Structure 1
Amino acid sequence: MSNPESFIDEVTEEVRRDKLFAMFRKYGWIGVVLVLAVVGGAAWTEWQRASAAARAQAFGDALLTALEADTPEARSAALAAVPADGEQVALRDLMLASDPARDRAAALAALDKVANDASLPQVWRDLAVLRRSALQGADIPLADRRAALEPLAQPGRVFRVMASEQLAYLLIEEGQTDAAIASLRALVSDAEAPGGLRNRASQMIVALGGDPAQG
């Protein structure tokens, strides 16, 4: 009896394997498609994230550049010319409506509103904090300015290098020349820092009596 039973078991196992292979040939492509969908979806999400970060950086840089114009009229024209869409339009218009040269208190109030609006993406709140810190200057304690800027200088934040530049200036204000030069040198060699910022850092190092190329 054992031989017939063994033969039956072998045949049954063979049939099962045949059915399994047949099912794989018929439906296996579904698994392949699912894997490709997951991998492709992750790549698409990462690309979107990187594109959004680059777009935010470009918009923020354009706003800050526009705000450095010499006259209120020039600032207004430069701000109005900054390309924007979605949330960017509201932020641009907010800054356009609050020029510190005309009404400093209104400008600070507008920036505070953006900085404290939890419904806005972090990038716009960071931009408002950065601009507010530069505008207030020595009117508020240095420790308060440092506390506001340090979170912006952490890795992964869009305006990290700009906040780091402002923190270096705070070291100069404190009289910590060596520490300031070291911070500025780090910015000169930072691949993420724009050319204008690296040039400013190099010039400041020279002004402080240092050598930008020295490690």
Structure 2
Amino acid sequence: MSDADSFIDEVTEEVRRDRLFRLMRRYGWIAAVVIVAVVAGAAYNEYRKAQATASAQALGDAMLAALANDAPDQRAEALAGIEADSPGGEAVLDFLTAAARAEAGEIEAAVADLQDIARNGDLPGIYREIAQFKALTLQAETLSADDRRLQFEALAQPGKPLRLLAEEQLALIDISEGETEAALDRLQAILQDAEADAGLQQRARQVIVALGGTPAPALGQQQG
């Protein structure tokens, strides 16, 4: 490289450096603001995580303290006095409160707690369906068979997470109405369903035998 070329490169580099310094003096504050914002955002996220963790721990401690009561009515009262700051935490509280109230014989109050969960659009569908299912089982003596059948049929649709449990309840409704063959068909179908767990299969077999039927081999036993 000639001295002239070297000199030109050095001048060009100086020009670039000078231009960069001028840009930094003019716009450098933007970079500083961005850096501060990023650091502040990260700090705020960590703070929020810490707050959420502390809140969850406090809620868990309060629940455990309430559940330590031996009497179900006292558990229900203690649980009802706890406040949660998230829809999920509130749903868990309502489930526990409903269970305590049901155990204490406060069926209407338990059903009301569960129906609150079932109507809460901020919760995942599975929460709402579990609440609806449990509320229906608690109303076996107070809600007409037709109303319960209609709602259990909605829960028994293909793809529903509680489909087989709803089918079991429908079979029990069939039995209560004297429709033995319909109940047997439902229970046999449960035994043939690949999604039926061992506990559900066992209950289905017991009811089939009690009705005078012969349980068909479960799907896994047929394949074996």
From 117, 120, 126, the equivalent of 2:120 is 117
Question: 2:134 is paired with a residue of what secondary structure?
Answer: helix
Partner of 1:213: 216
Matches of 1:90 and 1:211, distance apart in 2: 45
Residues 71-82 of structure 1 aligned to structure 2 (within 5 Å): 72=72
From 137, 140, 151, the equivalent of 1:134 is 137
Distance 1:166 1:157, change over 3 A: same
Normalising by the residue count of structure 2, what TM-score does the alignment of the two structures yield?
0.55
What residue identity is the alignment partner of 1:154?
A: Q
Structure 1: state its 5+ residue gaps.
1-70, 77-85
What residue identity is the alignment partner of 2:200?
A: L
Which whole-Å deviations, capped at 9, do the CAs of 1:75-94 have from their partners, x for residues lacking one? 99xxxxxxxxx865432221
Partner of 1:82: none
Partner of 2:173: 170
What residue identity is the alignment partner of 1:148?
A: Q
Asked whether the equivalents of residues 155 and 162 of structure 2 are also in contact (C-alpha less than 8 Å), the reply is yes
From 146, 156, 160, the equivalent of 2:159 is 156
Question: 2:140 is paired with a residue of what secondary structure?
Answer: helix
Q: How many residues align?
A: 135
Partner of 2:7: none
User: Within the alignment, does 1:101 sit opposite 2:103 as a pair?
Assistant: yes
Distance 1:211 1:88, change over 3 A: farther
Partner of 2:146: 143
Distance 1:141 1:173, change over 3 A: same
Which is greater in Rg? Answer: 2
Partner of 2:52: none
Matches of 1:184 and 1:146, distance apart in 2: 16
Question: 1:107 is paired with a residue of what secondary structure?
Answer: helix
What residue identity is the alignment partner of 2:132?
A: V
From 187, 190, 193, the equivalent of 1:190 is 193
Which whole-Å deviations, capped at 9, do the CAs of 1:110-136 have from their partners, x for residues lacking one? 011111222322211111111011111
Structure 2: state its 5+ residue gaps.
1-70, 77-85, 219-224
Matches of 1:214 and 1:161, distance apart in 2: 17
Question: 1:158 is paired with a residue of what secondary structure?
Answer: coil
From 185, 198, 202, the equivalent of 1:199 is 202
Matches of 2:212 and 2:90, distance apart in 1: 43
- Superposed CA RMSD in Å reads 2.3
Cα deviation, residue 214, structure 1: 7.4
Matches of 2:89 and 2:205, distance apart in 1: 34
Matches of 2:91 and 2:117, distance apart in 1: 8
Asked whether the equivalents of residues 88 and 123 of structure 2 are also in contact (C-alpha less than 8 Å), the reply is no
Cα deviation, residue 106, structure 1: 1.6
Matches of 2:117 and 2:217, distance apart in 1: 40
Which whole-Å deviations, capped at 9, do the CAs of 1:143-162 have from their partners, x for residues lacking one? 00011111110111111111
